[in-house]
Chain A
Amino acid sequence: MFPIGEYVDLMFKVFTRHEKGSVFRKQIAQEINNLGLESLGIVAIISVFMGMVVAIQTGHNITSAWIPDYTVGFTTRESIILEFSPTIISLILAGKVGSRIASEIGTMRVTEQIDALEIMGINPANYLILPKVVAALMIFPVLVLISMFLGIFGGWLAAIWMHVVTTTAYYQGITLDFIPYEIFYSAVKTIVFAFLITTVSGYYGYITDGGALEVGKASTKAVVMSSILIILFNLIITQLMLG
């Protein structure tokens, strides 16, 4: 069970009693690098291969001559924008970023670094978690947007290399009946997922008690709980925005 009461209590501390603005801005820049730019590589690789697989699978499933070739491009675009980029990339980030946040804060807890902050008169929850939340809210949508382009690009690569469809047919498919609202829907999902990943992981790191073993456990719990909440909120948001 996820301890909602304790989580809300911590979030209250995270979003109140702010520390010095100049330090906060510097931390956000640092976290954009740590959480976002350092994840760019894995996001790019997964997105390209994801797009390729979707294009090949769609091509493989088109057995009727009545279905036009542009369906491959259309399906790849829809799958990537609506589901694969926002949800799968967020699940990947829950693993990479979530474990990093939980283990970083958890280690600080067990080595008394958080106590040291508190003794100095700093609000540790705000100082440690808020910059990560703000940075993720800023950089995750950018990563997902990049993922969308790379996924569609990967689909095109597969289409021409594996002779699934022609470039013209693929291009026709990815430009057919494009609905900008779908990008907005994906952005909303990504922002919610970014908030969940950083706050849930921050929570598990912050409440760590013990030693190295507990830091590892906190990291695992953070990834598992973030992933479950991503799946759950994916359903809720989809029903609210597309249902």
Chain B
Amino acid sequence: MIETKHISKRFENKEVIKDINMVFERGKTNLIIGPSGSGKTVLMKCIVGLLEIDEGEILFDNRLFNKMDFYEKKTIRQEMGMMFQGGALFDSLTVEENVMFPITMFTKQSFAERLDRVNFCLKRVNLDNVNKLYPAELSGGMKKRVAIARAISMNPRYLFCDEPNSGLDPKTSIVIDNLISEITQEYGMTTIINTHDMNSVIEIGDKIAFIYSGKLWWVGDKHEILRTDNEELNSFVYATELTRRLKKGPL
């Protein structure tokens, strides 16, 4: 479980995140949604510690993360996996080396043991015969899967996904969404997904936080979001002609 208590973040005089209180539950896919520029990426970067918060507390299973020193944070970070928007795979390493990277850095396992783990993770994300390929040789969907494989290679307690579906076709997006959801339940992870893809929201949104103008505007699940009367949220959910028509009834 991850908790944020009254967290705020300013860039110079502009307050980008304002007093966010939120609980991200274990074993669930927790989604942060919101329009572009609403502050959801900044919120995620604050939670994972890439940005320092100005006020508030961030707790990972009741461990106060934002007050820890580098080495204490390092321990928590070894329990984190993150899938970046572009994959952030290391260009100079093969798929196998990318997935093996955190294991090599933080364990004393033999090469055979590490390779077993790599193959297990790649199989889990439905990738075969890609071990020796470089990221540049992979399709967008494959890169995302390798990024997930790398993120779960250390068996993390916390999984973060930043725009996992950006640049993917709707069918591949659903595959990635379902994969994240399955892994979350299978390993009992606390998963936080940053997205503005409504398909993901409806598909896997166990818990949804709507961020608007840097504030936590609404919290609910994938069923409640379709029935809400929150004006700002409705304008986000029903932004397209297709969703507006669906709201009115069968096409």
Q: Which residues of A does B touch, CB under 8 Å?
A: 17, 19-20, 23, 107-108, 111-113, 115-116, 118-123
Complex Cα spacing A116 to B85, Å: 11
Q: Is B105 in contact with A120, judged by CB distance below 8 angstroms? A: yes
Closest partner residue, chain A, to B98 (CB atom): A116
B48 at the binding interface (Cβ < 8 Å): yes
Q: Is B88 in contact with A121, judged by CB distance below 8 angstroms? A: no
Q: Is B50 in contact with A120, judged by CB distance below 8 angstroms? A: no
Complex Cα spacing A112 to B162, Å: 11
Question: Other than the known A20-B104, A111-B86, what 4 A-B pairs have Cβ atoms closer than 8 Å?
Answer: A17-B70, A113-B91, A120-B80, A120-B105
B131 at the binding interface (Cβ < 8 Å): no
Interface positions of B from 20 to 55, Cβ below 8 Å from A: 48-50
Given contacts A118-B50, A120-B77, contact A20 B84 (CB under 8 A): no
Q: Which residues of B does A touch, CB under 8 Å?
A: 48-50, 70-71, 73-78, 80, 82, 84-86, 88-91, 101-102, 104-106, 160
Contacts of B86 in A (CB 8 A): 111-112
Complex Cα spacing A19 to B71, Å: 12
Given contacts A111-B88, A112-B84, A113-B88, contact A119 B74 (CB under 8 A): no
- One of B70, B76, B88 near A116 (C-beta < 8 A): B88
Q: Is A121 in contact with B90, judged by CB distance below 8 angstroms? A: no
- One of B75, B80, B89, B105 near A119 (C-beta < 8 A): B80
Contacts of A20 in B (CB 8 A): 104-105
Contacts of A111 in B (CB 8 A): 86, 88, 91
Closest partner residue, chain B, to A17 (CB atom): B70
Q: Is A112 in contact with B78, judged by CB distance below 8 angstroms? A: no
Q: Is A119 in contact with B73, judged by CB distance below 8 angstroms? A: no
Closest partner residue, chain A, to B71 (CB atom): A17
- One of A113, A121, A123 near B78 (C-beta < 8 A): A121
Closest partner residue, chain A, to B75 (CB atom): A121
Complex Cα spacing A32 to B78, Å: 30
Q: Is A120 in contact with B102, judged by CB distance below 8 angstroms? A: yes
Q: Which 8 A-B pairs have the closest CB atoms?
A: A121-B77, A121-B74, A116-B88, A112-B88, A119-B82, A112-B84, A113-B88, A121-B78
Complex Cα spacing A123 to B74, Å: 9
Contacts of A123 in B (CB 8 A): 70
Complex Cα spacing A107 to B78, Å: 25
Complex Cα spacing A112 to B82, Å: 11
Contacts of B73 in A (CB 8 A): 121
Count of inter-chain pairs, beta carbons less than 8 A: 54
Closest partner residue, chain A, to B84 (CB atom): A112
Closest partner residue, chain B, to A104 (CB atom): B92
- Smallest beta-carbon distance B178→chain A, Å: 24
- One of A17, A19, A113 near B90 (C-beta < 8 A): A113
Q: Is A115 in contact with B50, judged by CB distance below 8 angstroms? A: yes
A and B contact pairs by CB, cutoff 8 A, 26 listed: A19-B105, A20-B104, A23-B104, A23-B105, A108-B90, A112-B84, A112-B88, A113-B88, A113-B91, A115-B84, A115-B88, A116-B90, A118-B50, A118-B77, A119-B48, A119-B50, A119-B80, A119-B82, A119-B160, A120-B101, A120-B102, A121-B73, A121-B78, A121-B80, A121-B106, A122-B105
- Smallest beta-carbon distance B158→chain A, Å: 10
Closest partner residue, chain B, to A110 (CB atom): B86
Contacts of B75 in A (CB 8 A): 121
Contacts of B77 in A (CB 8 A): 118-121
Q: Is B105 in contact with A112, judged by CB distance below 8 angstroms? A: no
Given contacts A20-B105, A121-B106, contact A116 B78 (CB under 8 A): no
Closest partner residue, chain B, to A121 (CB atom): B77
Contacts of A121 in B (CB 8 A): 73-78, 80, 106
Complex Cα spacing A192 to B145, Å: 45
Complex Cα spacing A120 to B77, Å: 6
Complex Cα spacing A19 to B74, Å: 11
Contacts of A116 in B (CB 8 A): 82, 84, 88, 90
- Smallest beta-carbon distance A109→chain B, Å: 11
Contacts of B106 in A (CB 8 A): 120-121
